[in-house]
Amino acid sequence: MTRKRIPPPIAADVGGVLKRYDVYSTGTAVDWERAMDSLDDFSGAEALAAGVDSGVDTSGLFHTSEVRWFAHGPLPPDVQAWFTGGGTMGAVERRIDTYQLYGLDDIGVKRRHRTTLEVKVRRTLGASLNLGDGLEGRIEEWSRWEPGEEDGIWQSPDKGWIGVEKAIYTRSFLPADREVILPAVHTNRLYAGCDVEIAEVTAVGISTWTLALEAFGPTASRQQALTSSWRTLQAHSPSTEKLEFAFDRACGYPEWLRLVT
């Protein structure tokens, strides 16, 4: 059987409710959220047992639970020093991603490092998570994958692209409240973990910085991974009470780009 990639979601107003639909080559509409929920945490064999079309390639799907905040201005030096332990902790990555401007809060299409095409869809906007220190935001459930270049439908010719410069500092946490020195293995679906990052971001001449927690692994364990990773970070770097987290908005990159462009 030829394996097919996950097709694109299309927004439609159905009975006053905005729904996303998956349109296959046959023209059949499948409720996007139900389809993605069915695939969450399943391998191809498990998806088949659950009644999901085994022709769908689920190997590239990556599901996360995320909370992200944005603040005006460049990354404060004291925040960077706190998070990195003065440059001794975490990993740093500098890159430029190009985003296509869909103008939607729950769909992100970008080229990571200006090369690899990546699609990210927000499946649900969940309950509010309060981490203290003035950090509160709703948990966003995202699914992302890398479609092939042949899936040109993701690159709409009528949508512009914008470059986003990022300097990303990441610390990774796994179960049992422990931090890992090397980047966590995100493809293992047996356990949950969480990446905590701060990043200095520049786009369209606007400088901002962002703090984000991105939990991966089994759905039922991801919210706990969010809270435990922040608790462990505070235990290892216990100076958050001296910092002022004055964020303007809790949202993902697609929403932030819609607001600034």
CATH number at residue 93: 2.40.320
Q: Same domain, yes or no, for 10 and 41?
A: yes
Buried b (16+ CB within 10 A) or exposed e, 206-226: eebbbbbbbbbbeeebbbebb
Which of 59, 76, 97 is the last residue before a domain boundary? 59
Residue carrying structure tokens 């980047």? 183
17-23 vs 193-203, strand pairing mode: unpaired
Q: Same domain, yes or no, for 52 and 89?
A: no
pTM over 0.85: no
Q: Same domain, yes or no, for 54 and 74?
A: no
Q: Which residues contact 209 (CB under 8 A, 6 or more apart)?
A: 70, 71, 73, 74, 75, 76, 79, 198, 199, 200, 201
Q: Same domain, yes or no, for 226 and 119?
A: yes
Long-range contacts of 7-16 (CB under 8 A, 24+ apart): 7/153, 8/119, 8/151, 8/153, 8/154, 9/107, 9/121, 11/104
Q: Same domain, yes or no, for 142 and 253?
A: yes
* pLDDT given at position 6: 39
Number of domains in the chain: 2
Q: Same domain, yes or no, for 32 and 119?
A: no
**Distance (Å, whole) CA 120 – CA 216:** 14
Instruction: Give CA angle at 179 (245, 221), nearest 5°.
Output: 85
Q: Same domain, yes or no, for 38 and 88?
A: no
* pLDDT given at position 238: 78
Asked if 60 and 146 touch (Cβ cutoff 8 Å), the reply is yes
Kindly indicate the confidence band of residue 241, based on its pLDDT and cuts at 50, 70 and 90.
low
Q: What is the mean pLDDT of residues 226-254?
A: 86
**Distance (Å, whole) CA 192 – CA 224:** 9
Q: Same domain, yes or no, for 138 and 42?
A: no
Q: Same domain, yes or no, for 132 and 67?
A: yes
Is a pLDDT exceeding 90 seen at residue 59? no
166-185 pLDDT, tens digit per residue, is 999 999 998 766 787 655 56
Which of 59, 74, 101 is the last residue before a domain boundary? 59
83-103 pLDDT, tens digit per residue, is 999 999 999 999 999 999 989
Q: Same domain, yes or no, for 38 and 114?
A: no
> What is the residue range of 55's domain?
1-59
Q: Same domain, yes or no, for 125 and 218?
A: yes
